[in-house]
């Protein structure tokens, strides 16, 4: 299943399941050059990166490693074919199209291989301080079954030891497409040498080495320097661990199992598991020693009917009075050793819900919860089949979406630590089912699942329809062949461009006469050195022929405090999504959207939201000379003008007319037409209550009944002309 993005609905911040992806990119900051901001990233799909996290791989600081930090290469070392910051980059891996790697060949069983190279951050040709790019070296190596250890010693530009590096390892790559799949290891280190390893079967493995991202807009702090990479192979102690195809969580009459690292661990504890047979005790050891999951449910007497995942309770969106009472419940979901959730959860209950359309699905236990009701929520994707058989339950780690704990806030907006939880699945799929696990938190260092909190909570569910979506954000291809996530600057970006705006086309569908808009998610990034206090929006009426909007077409404006970016489920870039929570109505029709950053000190302190281009499902603006975007430097004069850029093309197979479509989604709910115009409360009468509703929305779109986008005299006249009972 495609990985989805799950975020806390109370905090609107990334949780463990929507953390930033393992960005392996060339450029760590943005540039303003001819109006565009560029941020380069690894083209591995975000869904694959999220899946990596779900499998337990993280980007973290490595523990100290023993040994001397020396980059002096021994005789016979392999020399990396490119320098740091050299163009073209001949081992740029998946960061260019087509991908290119340095193939180190084969390492012998028990052998050692040395590789010398250069990496770091640098100011690209024509750039200035603060506009740094990051050099990565991508390698392929073929190894027999066993443990492959990567030891990386690094030096700075003066040759002195420098303990800052990142190692990525992907075992068993697809030779036909090495860029496909997940990294097994992705770890940042502050020690030298930096040592990481992976135990895998025979095959070709990928290794990527680089430095951390720059965290400042000054000159490079990880400037290009030398490194020595030492690859060491250690054969398996139990050869069958490299050849067995049997599951580690199922007993079988032959020795070994199909996860080499776990097989080695278990057989090191009990050699008979490899020498004789992988029996039930070996399965138990695999679960305990490797954090594997074996499904089983033994409900206690008097447990709730939905105590087991295989007997989940089907609910519908918006269903009232869904009570979650885990008193007397057992535990059958994955435990903390499996690593699916940062919080241990026990006494769990299970619910299944169907997404009515594409959109954002929210599950909340916030109302009525307090610091005495410590619940945790996990979410799993079931696809089009809601039935959870024992076999599907056993495969839970394969289709987990994410986990959230302590995400509800009190009346002051403060998170209730040790309290209830709420989650929003931002990219639920129409007609697909989702399995909800709600259980009590427990301290796994003190007790087991039987010590989990018990509670009685009310679960509320809601859904925001996708009113309009451009689809995910994609990279463009530079003239050098590099995949580049390109954003157009939007905000007060200079003294002469104080209203650097875009007008992006969208349509509100006619499946409903009106839509209550609740959220607009715009996708981009904040260039280095910018001060963004608010994220602002303007909605314009879009006239026939798509002319540039003028002041007369301005329909709605607003702003929110600049939001924390988070990772959507299909975008190429991490942390691209920025939510603008709104409350207004739009009738079916054609519009433009403008989104831009600002602060109180423009134009002495600049603001910039780099709005990502290359969304394939946007509405193209095309004239006789090709695709373009409406863009302004200041408004209303000179206002929006035709804009294009050079030096980039679309990815292979993509429509070149999509280049200037920025990425955004609009969410809301259809509004049922009243039985008669002006009967806002749909009680069959137009009376004083309806008049109060109209007057409260005066001057805004909120109570518009004539379709002109404003509540005004024409709406009042319509209401009064039909006063009394509806026909």
| 653 plus 549 within the same structural domain | yes
Question: Is 717 found in the same domain as 691?
Answer: yes
Say which DSSP state 309 is in. G
Same domain, yes or no, for 663 and 688?
Answer: no
Residue 213 has what pLDDT? Answer: 78
Strand partners, 609: 490
How far apart are the C-alpha atoms of 365 and 407, rounded to whole Å?
A: 10
Cα 206 to Cα 189: distance, rounded to the nearest angstrom:
19
One domain for residues 649 and 685:
no
**Domain contains 30:** no
Instruction: Return the sign of the alpha-carbon dihedral for residues 635, 638, 641, 646.
Output: negative
Residue 611: per-residue pLDDT: 97
- Residues 440, 478 within the same domain: no
What CA–CA distance (Å, rounded) separates 195 from 318? 51
User: Is 49 part of any domain?
Assistant: no
> Does residue 603 have a cis bond before it (omega within 30 degrees)?
yes
Lowest pLDDT segment from 298-307, 362-371, 548-557, 660-669: 362-371
| pLDDT at residue 519 tops 80 | yes
534 and 455 in a single domain? The answer is no
Residues 6+ apart with CB under 8 A from 646: none
Provide, for the chain, the percentages of residues in helix, strand and coil under a 3-state DSSP scheme, each rounded to the nearest 5. 10, 35, 50
pLDDT score of 173: 94
Domain boundary among 398, 432, 462: 462
How far is it, in rounded angstroms, from Cα 543 to Cα 712? Answer: 22
User: Residue 35: inside a domain, yes or no?
Assistant: no
613 and 542, same domain (yes or no): yes
The confidence score (pLDDT) of residue 481 equals: 80
Percent of the chain with pLDDT over 90: 60
- Evaluate if residue 44 carries a pLDDT over 80: no
Structural domains counted in the chain: 5
**408 or 545, higher pLDDT:** 545
Question: Which range marks the domain in which residue 286 is found?
Answer: 250-290
Q: Report residue 369's pLDDT band, with 50, 70 and 90 as the boundaries.
A: low
Q: Which of 287-301, 360-374, 383-397, 527-541 has the lowest mean pLDDT?
A: 360-374
Residue 487: beta bridge partners?
37, 612
Query: Is residue 303 in a domain?
Result: no
- Inter-CA distances, 219 with 40, 155, 165, 212, 606, Å: 19, 17, 18, 14, 20
pLDDT at residue 424, as a whole number: 86
Rounded average pLDDT over 423-435: 91
Statement: residue 701 has pLDDT above 70: yes
**CA dihedral sign, ordered 232, 21, 417, 361:** negative
Q: Quick check: is 323 in a domain?
A: yes
Sheet holding 185-189, edge to edge: 102-106, 137-143, 203-210, 165-170, 185-189
Report the pLDDT value the prediction gives residue 258, as an integer from 0 to 100: 94
What percent of the chain has pLDDT above 70?
88
For residue 698, pLDDT beyond 70: yes
Contact present, 704 and 666 (Cβ < 8 Å): no
Long-range contacts for 325-328 (Cβ within 8 Å, ≥24 apart)? 325/349, 325/455, 325/456, 325/457, 326/438, 326/439, 326/440, 326/452, 326/454, 326/455, 327/454, 327/456, 328/300, 328/301, 328/302, 328/303, 328/304
Shared-domain flag, residues 621 and 640 = yes
Q: How confident is the model at residue 127 (pLDDT cuts 50, 70, 90)?
A: low
User: Which of 438, 462, 486 delimits the end of a domain?
Assistant: 462
| Kind of pairing between the strands at 345-354 and 433-441 | antiparallel
- Per the prediction, the chain carries an average pLDDT of 85
Residues 626 and 679 in one domain: no
717 SS3 class: helix
Residue 534: inside a domain, yes or no? Answer: yes
Asked whether residue 178 falls in the same domain as residue 261, the answer is: no
Q: Tens digits of per-residue pLDDT, 247-269?
A: 999 999 999 999 999 999 999 99
pLDDT range class, residue 677, cuts 50, 70, 90: confident
- Does residue 86 lie within any of the structural domains? yes
Instruction: Tell me whether residue 23 is in a domain.
Output: no
In the predicted structure, residue 21 carries a pLDDT above the cut 60: no
- Does 421 share its domain with 493? no
Report which DSSP code applies to 494: B
Residues 590 and 547 in one domain: yes
The enclosing domain of 720 has a CATH number of: 1.10.1330.10
Average pLDDT (162-190) is 90
Q: Provide the pLDDT for residue 7.
A: 36
Instruction: State the average pLDDT over residues 104-123.
Output: 94
- Does residue 368 surpass a pLDDT of 80? no
């Amino acid at each position: 299943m495609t990985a989805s993005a799950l975020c806390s609905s109370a905090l609107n911040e990334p949780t463990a399941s929507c953390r930033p992806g393992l960005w392996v990119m060339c450029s760590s900051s943005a540039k303003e050059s001819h109006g565009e901001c560029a941020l380069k990233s690894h083209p591995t799909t975000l869904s694959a990166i999220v899946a990596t996290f779900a499998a337990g791989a993280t980007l973290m600081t490595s523990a100290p490693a023993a040994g001397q930090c020396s980059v002096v290469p021994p005789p016979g070392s392999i020399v990396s074919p490119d320098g740091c910051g050299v163009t073209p980059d001949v081992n740029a891996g998946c960061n260019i199209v087509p991908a290119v790697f340095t193939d180190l060949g084969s390492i012998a069983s028990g052998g050692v291989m040395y590789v010398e190279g250069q990496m770091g951050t640098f100011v690209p040709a024509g750039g200035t301080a603060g506009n740094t790019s990051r050099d990565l070296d991508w390698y392929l190596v073929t190894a027999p079954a066993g443990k492959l250890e990567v030891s990386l010693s690094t030096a700075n530009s003066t040759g002195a030891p420098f303990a800052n590096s990142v190692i990525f390892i992907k075992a068993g790559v697809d030779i036909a497409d090495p860029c496909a799949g997940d990294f097994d290891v992705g770890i940042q280190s502050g020690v030298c040498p930096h040592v990481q390893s992976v135990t895998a079967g025979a095959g070709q493995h990928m290794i990527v080495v680089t430095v951390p991202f720059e965290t400042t807009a000054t000159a490079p702090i990880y400037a290009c320097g030398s490194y020595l990479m030492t690859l060491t192979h250690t054969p398996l102690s139990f050869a069958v661990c490299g050849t067995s195809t049997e599951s580690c969580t199922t007993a079988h009459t032959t020795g070994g199992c199909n996860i080499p690292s776990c097989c080695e661990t278990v057989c090191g504890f009990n050699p008979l598991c490899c020498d004789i047979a992988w029996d039930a005790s070996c399965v138990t050891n695999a679960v305990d020693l490797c954090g594997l999951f074996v499904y089983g449910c033994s409900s206690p007497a008097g447990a709730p009917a939905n105590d087991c995942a295989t007997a989940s309770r089907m609910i519908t969106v918006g269903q009232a009075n869904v009570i979650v009472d885990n008193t007397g419940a057992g535990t059958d979901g994955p435990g903390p050793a499996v690593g699916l959730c940062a919080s241990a959860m026990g006494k769990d209950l299970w619910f299944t819900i169907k997404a009515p359309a594409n959109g954002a699905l929210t599950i909340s236990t916030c109302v009525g919860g307090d610091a005495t009701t410590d619940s945790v929520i996990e979410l799993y994707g079931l696809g089009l089949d809601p039935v959870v058989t024992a076999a599907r339950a056993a495969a839970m780690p394969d289709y987990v979406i994410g986990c959230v704990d302590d995400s509800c806030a009190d009346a002051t907006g403060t998170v209730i630590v040790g309290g209830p939880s709420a989650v929003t699945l931002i990219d639920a799929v129409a007609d697909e089912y989702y399995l909800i696990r709600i259980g009590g938190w427990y301290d796994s260092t003190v007790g087991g699942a039987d010590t989990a909190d018990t509670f009685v909570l009310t679960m509320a569910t809601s859904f925001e329809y996708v009113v309009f979506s451009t689809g995910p954000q994609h990279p463009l291809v530079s003239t050098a062949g590099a995949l580049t996530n390109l954003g157009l600057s939007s905000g007060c970006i200079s003294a002469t461009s104080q209203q650097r705006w875009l007008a992006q086309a969208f349509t509100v569908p006619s499946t409903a006469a009106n839509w209550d808009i609740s959220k607009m998610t715009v996708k981009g990034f904040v260039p280095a050195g910018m001060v963004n206090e608010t994220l602002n929006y303007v909605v314009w009426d879009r006239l026939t022929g798509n002319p540039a909007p003028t002041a007369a077409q301005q329909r709605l404006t607003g702003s929110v405090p600049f939001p924390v970016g988070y990772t959507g489920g299909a975008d190429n870039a991490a942390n691209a999504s920025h939510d603008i929570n709104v409350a207004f109505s739009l009738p079916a029709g054609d519009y433009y959207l403008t989104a831009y950053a600002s602060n109180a000190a423009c134009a002495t302190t600049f603001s910039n939201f780099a709005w990502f281009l290359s969304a394939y499902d946007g509405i193209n603006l095309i004239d006789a000379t090709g695709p373009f975007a409406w863009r302004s430097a200041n408004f209303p004069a000179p206002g929006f003008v035709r804009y294009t850029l050079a030096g980039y093309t679309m990815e292979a197979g993509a429509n070149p007319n999509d280049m200037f479509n920025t990425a955004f989604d609009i969410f809301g709910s259809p509004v049922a037409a009243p039985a008669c115009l002006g009967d806002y409360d749909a009680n069959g009468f137009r009376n004083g209550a309806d008049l109060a509703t109209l007057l409260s929305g005066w001057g805004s779109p909120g109570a518009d009944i004539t379709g002109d986008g404003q509540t005004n005299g024409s709406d009042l006249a319509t209401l009064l002309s039909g006063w009394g009972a509806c026909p």
